[in-house]
Copies of this chain bind each other. A is one copy, B any other.
Amino acid sequence: MNYIQQDFSVQFSYKVFFTEFLFSLENRLFNDLLESVHEEGIMRKILFVIDENITIHFPKLGEQIDTYFKDNPYVKLVPEKVIVAGGEIAKNEERFLTTIIDAVNEHGIDRHSYIVGIGGGSVLDLTGYAAAISHRGIKLIRVATTVLSQDDSGVGVKNGVNYKGKKNFLGTFVPPFAVFNDYHFLTTLSDRDWVSGISEAIKVALIKDAAFFDWLEQHAEQLANRDKEATQYMIKRCAELHMDHIAGGDPFEFGSSRPLDFGHWSAHKLEQITDFKVLHGEAVAMGIALDTVYSNLVGSLSETETNRVITLLKTIGLPLSHEYMNLTSADDPIFAGLREFQEHLGGRLTIMLLKSIGTGYEVHELDAQLIMKASQILRNAQESPNQQKQPLSC
């Protein structure tokens, strides 16, 4: 056979920094990062894309950024900030993507310039996608401003936007140049946004780290009450577990397995059919609950551990059920989520279930009757007070 074999590997490295007041003049972290990669005689440009919600809660942010980068020896700040809507709308409407790409064009942002996204997960996904496809990849710096983006989506290698209502239909795998998790941005979050960011920590603990799950149980009330120290620990440990998983496994997901999507097959669909009125973290909490109870029903997870998961979700203040999660027929729209999950991943349907707290295992089919049964158990659990160490009844 007449062929040429091509083989090479590409090395990726980045740091996720944990800080506060990133753009105050006393905080030299951002400046020091730019200094560390500076090349003599080269002035790179830096363009900011900011979540509209952040500009409302931090009206002086633009000014602070201007002051921070004034006369900076390493970068030339593009004065115009690109403001995009916060939340899923940023990924749903093409005009936001076009606005960023047009700014790249207009301001002559090259591949060695920086695009900085400041915002929640959706804005970071959008900004990352725009950066990834412009000039075959501009350096992306993420400033994550929600619990969810600081502990999960903001620290990873994915980006994307929705297309014709399908979540992340367009996107790429491209690691960021750096990530800054600034705790101060979290302080203006609504309780609902705050709490919903905790579900990804519970998820990753369930599939990867029993000790972290114990810790979450012990600090559940502090987390629900927005205790700073507990939240900072939770975010860092959650980010670390996500990052370890990415580095240790299949970073660009060439295989069909996707353990970090535990609980996500129904969650993605629930977000979509509620037009994203259910937040991602809330949907994930319900998805985790469903697949946990299902794991119990198929006999792989003990009732004690199942109850611990349900109790933790409730103590944190996360929902267990929703009218669309009241599954009574295989025609319920949530079940389309299984097909779409398989389509997005490709290959065989691969779903993570739980063997014990901290240990997952993969299956390739789910029993619709048992999923419906799990959904009914959760409807009851949602309404009843916490019954720690009581068996689930159905």
Query: Chain A interface (Cβ within 8 Å of chain B)?
Result: 1-19, 29, 39, 41-42, 44, 101, 105, 108, 110-113, 132-138, 155, 158, 160, 163-164, 166, 168-175, 236, 239-240, 243, 246-248, 251-253, 256, 342-348
Contacts and interface: CB of A to CB of B under 8 A. Distances in A.
Contact of A343 (B42, B110, B168): B110
Contact of A10 (B15, B134, B251, B342): B251
A132 B171 CA distance: 8
Q: Which 5 A-B pairs have the closest CB atoms?
A: A112-B346, A110-B346, A111-B346, A8-B247, A112-B347
A interface SS class:
mixed
Contacts of A174: 172
Nearest to A343: B110
A4 B236 contact: yes
Contacts of A171: 133, 135-136
Contacts of A18: 2-3
A2 B19 CA distance: 7
Contacts of A19: 2
Nearest to A347: B112
B16 A4 contact: yes
A170 B346 contact: no
Residue from A136, A163, A239 whose CB has the most chain B CB atoms within 10 Å: A136
A6 B15 contact: yes
Given A112-B346, A136-B172, A6 B16 contact: yes
Given A18-B3, A170-B101, A136 B160 contact: yes
Given A163-B101, A173-B136, A347-B39, A7 B11 contact: yes
A105 B169 CA distance: 8
Given A110-B344, A110-B346, A342-B110, A13 B6 contact: yes
Nearest to A111: B346
A98 to B, nearest CB: 10
Contacts of A252: 10, 137
Contact of A348 (B42, B136, B173): B42
A95 to B, nearest CB: 14
Given A4-B239, A111-B344, A170-B133, A10 B9 contact: yes
A267 B134 CA distance: 21
Nearest to A132: B172
A268 B207 CA distance: 51
A340 B251 CA distance: 33
Given A112-B256, A132-B172, A1 B17 contact: yes
A105 B165 CA distance: 11
A373 B191 CA distance: 69
B17 A8 contact: no
